[in-house]
């Protein structure tokens, strides 16, 4: 099936904020065992993060994940870690992922311009990372159904703040279909199975 969005086949432009698989990466922030259990709706975060990982694998899009002070907070949740087999966690002490080894420089080297973000806590590590990414001219798509905090007020306030700084607020299913772009392909069928 031809991609109707290929250059030369249409006379209109797609919105520049729509995710493009050639310049997008998934960043999963600190979904670690010891802290996850006290988050709001931890199972929703786990399930949607797994959907994102599986979808990004199907699409062949880069995936990164971080761990905040793993000696104290433990490793990444085992269900999520199982999906990330073969990838190495980027360990950090700073709340923002800007302090996570060479993550930001690697994103730039790979010409990643759009970063899809999931993780915890919304108002601490996620928010500081998103604000730093935005300050460094990345587009950020925050996955609202794959982030969480211990307290709802912190979660909701952080999402509003990030949105006010031009973060794109979206959901797991929306992001996956946005990167996919078209139906009727094997990728579409595989991703449709994931999000059911």
Is residue 16 classed exposed, middle or buried when 0-12, 13-18 and 19+ CB atoms within 10 A define those classes?
Answer: exposed
Query: Where do we find the tokens 């990330």?
Result: 84
Question: Beta strand 63-68 with 168-170: parallel, antiparallel or unpaired?
Answer: unpaired
pLDDT at res. 126: 98
pLDDT at res. 130: 98
- Show which residues are catalytic: 30, 92, 125
Contact between residue 100 and residue 66 where contact means Cβ atoms under 8 Å apart: yes
Supply the range of the domain harboring residue 99: 21-195
Q: Does residue 15 lie within any of the structural domains?
A: no
pLDDT at res. 4: 58
Q: Does residue 1 lie within any of the structural domains?
A: no
pLDDT at res. 102: 87
pLDDT at res. 196: 82
Instruction: Supply 146's token pair.
Output: 């794959």
Q: Does residue 2 lie within any of the structural domains?
A: no
pLDDT at res. 99: 85
Q: Does residue 156 lie within any of the structural domains?
A: yes
**Counts of helices then strands in the chain (DSSP H, E):** 9, 6
Q: Chain-centre distance of CA 192, in angstroms?
A: 19
Q: Does residue 40 lie within any of the structural domains?
A: yes
Q: DSSP assignment, residue 3? A: -
Instruction: Supply 143's token pair.
Output: 């996955």
Q: Does residue 16 lie within any of the structural domains?
A: no
Per-residue pLDDT of the chain (196 residues; tens, 9 = 90+): 455 555 555 677 889 999 999 999 999 999 998 999 999 999 999 999 999 999 999 999 999 999 998 888 889 999 999 999 999 999 999 999 988 878 999 999 999 999 999 999 999 999 999 999 999 999 999 999 999 999 999 999 999 999 999 999 999 999 999 999 888 899 999 999 998 8
Q: Does residue 65 lie within any of the structural domains?
A: yes
pTM exceeds cut of 0.85:
yes
Which whole-number Å values give the CA distances from 50 to 20, 56, 121, 193, in the listed order? Answer: 20, 10, 17, 13
Domain count, the chain: 1
CATH number for 111: 3.40.50.850
With H, G, I as helix, E, B as strand and everything else as coil, classify residue 144: strand
Q: Does residue 5 lie within any of the structural domains?
A: no
pLDDT at res. 158: 98
What is the residue-wise DSSP string for 33-91?
A: HHHHTTSSSHHHHHHHHHHHHHHHHHHT--EEEEEESHHHH-SB-HHHHHHTTTPPPEE
């Amino acid at each position: 099936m031809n991609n109707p969005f290929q250059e030369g086949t249409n006379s209109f432009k797609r919105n520049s904020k729509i995710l493009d698989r050639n310049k997008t990466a998934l960043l999963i922030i600190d979904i670690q065992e010891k802290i996850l259990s006290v988050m709001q709706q931890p199972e929703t975060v786990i399930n949607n993060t797994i959907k994102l990982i599986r979808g990004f694998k199907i699409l062949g899009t880069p995936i990164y994940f971080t761990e905040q002070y793993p000696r104290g907070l433990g490793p990444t949740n085992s269900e999520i870690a199982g999906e990330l087999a073969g990838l190495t966690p980027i360990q950090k002490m700073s709340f923002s992922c800007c302090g996570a080894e060479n993550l930001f420089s690697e994103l730039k080297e790979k010409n990643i311009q759009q970063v899809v973000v999931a993780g915890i806590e919304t108002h601490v590590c996620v928010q500081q990372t998103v604000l730093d990414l935005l300050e460094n001219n990345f587009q950020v798509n925050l996955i609202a159904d794959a982030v969480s905090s211990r307290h709802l007020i912190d979660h909701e306030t952080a999402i509003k703040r990030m949105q006010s700084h031009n973060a794109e607020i979206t959901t797991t299913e929306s992001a996956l279909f946005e990167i996919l772009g078209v139906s009727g392909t094997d990728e579409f069928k595989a991703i449709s199975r994931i999000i059911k």
